Amino acid sequence: MASLNHIHTYIRRTGTDKTDWKESIFKCADPHCTQIELAINLEGKSSMCGKCNLNEIILDYRQLKLARPRCAECSMSRKDKEKIETRKKLEEMGIV
């Protein structure tokens, strides 16, 4: 069965924080999709947020270390919250 043609929502199936992140295996969370991929091959690819499943994200090193990669809005980091606030202010001013 081939993988579905959609934006995947990846979750980590093997590997832990102590193992090398490149060796982790990620699988699409959709029960009808068979997509399985190594983390090293997913860097720079798009995925849906693993928490809210609403926002599309580009996977990077930091997100591939998580079991469920998250968007900036679901992340609890202060820097991401500042980026969101700045983006909203720019949109209100009509710059973006």
Q: Could you tell me if 13 and 25 are in contact, meaning their C-beta atoms sit under 8 angstroms apart?
A: yes
Structure confidence at residue 96 (pLDDT) = 64
Q: Is residue 53 part of a domain?
A: yes
Structure confidence at residue 10 (pLDDT) = 92
Q: Which residue has the tokens 């720079």?
A: 44
Q: Is residue 49 part of a domain?
A: yes
Q: Is residue 83 part of a domain?
A: no
Q: Is residue 80 part of a domain?
A: no
Range of the domain at 14: 10-70
Number of domains making up the chain: 1
- Tell me the whole-structure pTM to 2 decimals: 0.70
Residues 6+ apart with CB under 8 A from 81: 72
Q: Is residue 76 part of a domain?
A: no
Q: In 3D, which of 74, 66, 75, 18 has the Cα closest to residue 42?
A: 66
Q: What is the mean pLDDT of each run of 10 residues along the chain (96 residues)?
A: 77 74 87 91 93 91 89 78 86 84
